[in-house]
A and B are shown apart, each in its own frame.
Chain A
């Protein structure tokens, strides 16, 4: 197995599924001839033709709405929204339509679409190229929201998402695209949606996180391990619906929980994780639940010191871990 990047792993998954299933097609802005602004879909139009890797007009509701129509007719569209920040014009199609088609038709119809979008900051993207939008979609039953943290998970979860018979939002951390590399299983490889994953076993405290913050948390845990601290890292992988069982199991085991997200603190996915722990693990806890997140400002600023102030990083996580360890 060769080492490949998070981005290459996603490309591999798309290529694998397009080669295997003729019903899979890609649509989005600049995904065809250019191969995407991040080059995730590079080469796919050449290989599978203009109709199966289509450059759409600049209209997000159209991208998602037509994907829904094709999906209801039996296709497996993978729609790309160029930046997660621009998914908002399509929210009516996602929340009012895709999420409700199976339910409102009592199972007569279903909507197997995947919507991919790069999210997250730390790349000088400013307010409109840095946002974490997962919380907007993570209280809508009918949707699945997946955020991989490693190249292997990215490949395995994307293949699972394409094969899933319900709508899946697949958010890819854009800073992870070229930063993270590892050996990734070749060929057919799936990772189950809806299952969290213990990325590091530990006994002292539990860090629950997802996305790029998993890598940052692992770095921080590694540093602290030199002082004998034993930290567990639970990667949610699917932020909706949540894997309650894994959250409860890990929180109960260590009794000390730090929740880390790059999203704004208030009303993030971690607010629900916190509620799950409070409801189920209160008597196992040895410290209050702690959170580390972006500040409650509208979005990430451009200028470097302000951007760093917003972003979560290994130093901030390490500091918060120590605080919890010493509690």
Chain B
């Protein structure tokens, strides 16, 4: 891992990063338990990608910058202000779910007050939305950036090419972050693309490219921070590839059987939370009691969020007819 001080982060920053990573992991793990207990129909995970997400989020300005995320970004949106209760209300599809009012599956992030654009399930469409938001910043002369994320599988879609080409042409303040966890459901990278590093494609779009260790939040922070600087200084877009690890199956409906047990076990050695904790201990940033306190604090937060969401009512049946158009509810 990079040295946090050398990339401009304080010990307190590191603690905050770890807290967001851990909170997201705990929420994610709880949703799996609830799924296996038959209480949630579906879960899709951030586990293993928290370092990439928090590293990126930390390099942005939460007041000004905009996210166009993808379904694994629980840690990223948590950093941007999505609360544990909001995450659980979405998971249970209960009334008060800010992300979709119980309309979408969990993992489809959205929250206007935290600058998180609404996502659908069709992958890679979000790249163009970030590029469009960045065009707005250019039109209005605003010093803001849009960050979009996607898996490496999504780089095969046309919208990836169309969006980055346009962002390159107009030097737009957009950062495209590939969270390369090496699998698109079951399809491995060698069947997805032929280039050695996806970041090399940046050259073809006339933009800056970076390839970083996605299990190292400081490396991701450094790359995204520099990308943000370039973006707000009119130097254009960046394509960053963070090599990451998917610690779970694709989703709760996937058996992960296409990966050997050996491979899955080995992935645990790359668990970014474990690596981060080791780093913090080694650098004397936090001691055992601090880690225990955080664990205890989050246990309560996750438990309360779960309980409150579980006890919340469902949206009413006829709410299904609302918000089709501005002027009238349909039906």
User: Do A and B originate from a single complex?
Assistant: yes
Q: Are B68 and A69 in contact (CB under 8 A)?
A: yes
Name the contact of B162 in the complex, choosing from A59, A74, A103, A141 (C-beta under 8 A): A59
Q: Which residues of chain A come closer than 8 Å to B94, judged between CB atoms?
A: none
CB distance from B112 to the nearest CB of A (A): 5
Interface residue stretch chosen among A49-57, A151-159, A268-276: A49-57
Does B100 belong to the interface (CB within 8 Å)? yes
Q: Are B131 and A66 in contact (CB under 8 A)?
A: yes
Which B107-155 residues have a C-beta within 8 angstroms of A?
108, 110-112, 117-118, 120-122, 125, 127-136, 138-139, 146
CB distance from A176 to the nearest CB of B (A): 27
Beyond A68-B132, A102-B326, A142-B325, whether A89 also contacts B158 by CB under 8 A is yes
Q: Are A61 and B128 in contact (CB under 8 A)?
A: yes
CB distance from B273 to the nearest CB of A (A): 31
Name the contact of B163 in the complex, choosing from A51, A66, A72, A104 (C-beta under 8 A): A66
Q: Which residues of chain B come closer than 8 Å to A187, judged between CB atoms?
A: none
Q: Which residues of chain A come closer than 8 Å to B111, judged between CB atoms?
A: 108
Q: Are B139 and A75 in contact (CB under 8 A)?
A: yes
* B115 and chain A: residue at smallest CB distance: A73
Does A109 belong to the interface (CB within 8 Å)? yes
By CB atoms of chain B within 10 A, which of A89, A96, A104 has the most?
A104
Does B169 belong to the interface (CB within 8 Å)? yes
Q: How many angstroms between the C-alpha atoms of A104 and B134 in the bound complex?
A: 23
Q: Are B139 and A25 in contact (CB under 8 A)?
A: yes
Does A62 belong to the interface (CB within 8 Å)? yes
* A93 and chain B: residue at smallest CB distance: B125
Q: Are B110 and A69 in contact (CB under 8 A)?
A: no
CB distance from B6 to the nearest CB of A (A): 35
CB distance from B218 to the nearest CB of A (A): 30
Which A65-114 residues have a C-beta within 8 angstroms of B?
65-75, 77, 89, 92-93, 96-97, 100-110
Q: Which residues of chain A come closer than 8 Å to B118, judged between CB atoms?
A: 72, 101, 104-105, 108-109
Beyond A66-B131, A68-B129, A104-B100, whether A75 also contacts B136 by CB under 8 A is yes
Q: Are A73 and B66 in contact (CB under 8 A)?
A: yes
Q: Which residues of chain A come closer than 8 Å to B100, judged between CB atoms?
A: 104-106
Name the contact of A141 in the complex, choosing from B66, B102, B128, B330 (C-beta under 8 A): B330
Q: How many angstroms between the C-alpha atoms of A93 and B117 in the bound complex?
A: 14
Beyond A61-B128, A70-B136, A96-B125, whether A103 also contacts B323 by CB under 8 A is yes
CB distance from A87 to the nearest CB of B (A): 15
By CB atoms of chain A within 10 A, which of B98, B130, B323 has the most?
B323
Q: How many angstroms between the C-alpha atoms of A51 and B163 in the bound complex?
A: 17
CB distance from B203 to the nearest CB of A (A): 18
Does A139 belong to the interface (CB within 8 Å)? no
CB distance from B183 to the nearest CB of A (A): 23
By CB atoms of chain A within 10 A, which of B68, B127, B166 has the most?
B166
Does A172 belong to the interface (CB within 8 Å)? no
Does A165 belong to the interface (CB within 8 Å)? yes
Q: Which residues of chain B come closer than 8 Å to A107, judged between CB atoms?
A: 101, 322-323
Name the contact of B166 in the complex, choosing from A52, A57, A100 (C-beta under 8 A): A57
* B120 and chain A: residue at smallest CB distance: A96
- Interface readout for A107-123 with B: 1 if CB under 8 Å, 0 if not? 11110000000000000
Does A166 belong to the interface (CB within 8 Å)? yes
Q: How many angstroms between the C-alpha atoms of A108 and B100 in the bound complex?
A: 8
Does B324 belong to the interface (CB within 8 Å)? yes
Which 6 pairs from chain A and chain B are nearest by CB? A69-B132, A65-B128, A106-B101, A66-B132, A69-B129, A62-B162
18 A-B contacts, Cβ less than 8 Å apart? A61-B159, A62-B162, A64-B128, A69-B128, A70-B135, A72-B118, A72-B129, A72-B132, A75-B136, A92-B122, A96-B121, A104-B100, A105-B112, A105-B118, A105-B323, A109-B110, A110-B326, A142-B325
Having A61-B159, A105-B101, A109-B117, one finds 12 other A-B pairs with CB under 8 Å, namely: A51-B139, A56-B166, A57-B166, A65-B125, A72-B129, A102-B325, A104-B103, A104-B104, A104-B118, A105-B112, A144-B325, A165-B326
Q: Which residues of B contact A (CB under 8 A)?
A: 66, 68, 97-104, 108, 110-112, 117-118, 120-122, 125, 127-136, 138-139, 146, 158-159, 162-163, 165-166, 169, 322-326, 330
